[in-house]
C-alpha cells in the first residue's frame, strides 16, 4: 500500500483568478500566512549567497540582482537556473506590474541576459557525459564560473536563455526566472504557470493595467488551503487535471 500511495497521481485544478478574487481573497490569505522573506533581503543586501551572485544593482527603480537558484550547483550550463530578484518591496508578483515598470522589465530582459552571457563568456560548460565516470564521487556545489573549462567559443547565447515569471509565484517578492532552454521544462514552464518576460512587456505596452484587470488561470493543488479559500468565496467553474509533476507553488 505504501508504494501505491507514493506513486499515485496527485491532482490540481485550473482556477480562473479574477482581479476581485486576488484583492478580496488571495491578498488576505497571504497576509494570514506570511512567509519569511529575510533570505531575499539578505541576498539583495549582499549578506548571503555572495559567492552565487553574478550581478547586483540596487537602483530603487530599475535595479535587480542575479543569483544562482539554490537548485542549480553551477556545474552545467544546460541545467542553468538563475533568479533575478527585484529590491522594490512593493512589487510582489505579476499582478503588481504596471506601465511604469516597463523600463525595469526591459532592463531585466536585455541586460539580465547579457550579464549572464558575459559572466560565462568564452566558457564551455562541462558536458554531462563528460562527468559520467565521476558520478560515484559526489561533488560539492560549484561557485559561478568554476568547474567549467575555457575555450575560444561563446558558451551561452541569448536565444538559449528563457526569461519568465511564475504565477502564482513560489514566494511573493517579484523575481524573474532565467533558465537554459534545455532545462526550462524542469523549472515550471508549463502553459498557464509561466509567463514569458517578453510577453509581459508587450502586454503592459498595450495596456498599462493589463495584469491588474485580467483574469489569470492558475494551477492549484486540490488539497491546498489557497484553493479552499478561493472556492469558499468564488462561484467560478474549474476543471481538474491529474499530475505527477513535483510542484513548488503556493498551496
Q: List the domain boundaries for the chain.
A: 37-207
**Averaged pLDDT, 61-80:** 93
C-alpha 26/C-alpha 88 separation (Å) is 21
Cα separation values, 187 from 6, 39, 103, 153, 183, Å: 22, 21, 26, 27, 7
Q: Is the pLDDT of residue 171 over 70?
A: yes
pLDDT of residue 238: 53
Closest CA to 223 of 8, 47, 11, 66: 11
For residue 36, the 8-state DSSP code is -
Closest CA to 161 of 112, 122, 204, 124: 112
**3-class secondary-structure state, position 216:** strand
Lowest mean pLDDT: which of 104-113, 123-132, 201-210, 227-236? 123-132
Residue 82 pLDDT grade (very low, low, confident, very high; cuts 50, 70, 90): very high
Closest CA to 13 of 170, 217, 234, 244: 217
Percent of the chain with pLDDT over 90: 55
Q: Are strands 81-85 and 216-221 parallel, antiparallel or unpaired?
A: unpaired
C-alpha 113/C-alpha 89 separation (Å) is 23
Residue 126 pLDDT grade (very low, low, confident, very high; cuts 50, 70, 90): low
C-alpha 229/C-alpha 25 separation (Å) is 7
| Topology given in CATH for the domain delimited by 37-207 | HIT family, subunit A (3.30.428)
Are residues 156 and 127 in contact, defined by beta-carbon separation less than 8 angstroms?
A: no
pLDDT of residue 184: 66
* pLDDT tens digits along 183-236: 867 667 777 789 999 999 999 999 999 999 999 999 888 888 888 888 887 655
Average pLDDT score, the chain: 81
Lowest mean pLDDT: which of 79-88, 157-166, 174-183, 225-234? 225-234
pLDDT of residue 234: 60
Burial bucket for residue 77 (CB in 10 Å: 0-12, 13-18, 19+): buried
C-alpha 64/C-alpha 84 separation (Å) is 6
Residue 133 pLDDT grade (very low, low, confident, very high; cuts 50, 70, 90): very low
Amino acid at each position: 500500500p505504501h508504494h501505491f500511495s507514493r506513486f499515485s497521481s496527485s491532482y490540481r485544478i485550473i482556477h480562473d483568478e479574477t482581479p476581485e478574487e486576488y484583492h478580496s481573497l488571495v491578498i488576505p490569505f497571504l497576509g494570514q500566512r506570511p512567509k519569511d522573506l529575510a533570505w531575499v533581503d539578505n541576498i539583495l543586501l549582499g549578506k548571503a549567497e555572495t559567492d552565487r551572485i553574478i550581478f547586483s544593482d540596487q537602483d530603487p527603480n530599475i535595479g535587480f540582482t542575479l543569483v544562482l537558484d539554490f537548485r542549480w550547483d553551477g556545474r552545467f550550463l544546460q541545467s542553468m537556473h538563475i533568479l533575478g530578484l527585484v529590491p522594490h518591496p512593493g512589487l510582489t508578483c505579476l499582478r503588481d506590474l504596471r506601465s511604469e515598470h516597463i523600463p525595469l522589465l526591459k532592463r531585466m530582459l536585455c541586460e539580465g541576459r547579457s550579464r549572464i552571457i558575459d559572466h560565462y563568456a568564452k566558457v564551455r560548460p562541462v558536458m554531462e557525459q563528460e562527468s559520467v565516470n565521476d558520478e560515484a564521487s559526489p561533488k560539492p556545489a560549484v561557485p559561478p564560473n568554476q568547474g567549467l573549462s575555457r575555450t575560444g567559443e561563446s558558451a551561452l547565447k541569448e536565444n538559449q536563455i528563457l526569461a519568465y515569471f511564475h504565477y502564482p509565484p513560489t514566494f511573493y517578492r517579484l523575481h524573474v526566472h532565467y533558465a537554459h532552454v534545455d532545462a526550462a521544462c524542469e523549472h515550471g514552464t508549463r502553459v498557464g504557470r509561466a509567463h514569458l518576460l517578453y510577453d509581459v512587456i508587450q502586454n503592459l505596452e498595450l495596456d498599462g493595467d493589463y495584469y491588474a484587470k485580467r483574469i489569470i488561470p492558475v494551477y492549484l493543488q486540490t488539497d491546498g488551503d489557497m484553493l479552499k479559500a478561493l472556492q469558499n468565496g468564488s462561484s467560478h467553474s474549474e476543471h481538474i487535471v491529474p499530475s505527477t509533476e513535483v510542484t513548488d507553488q503556493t498551496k
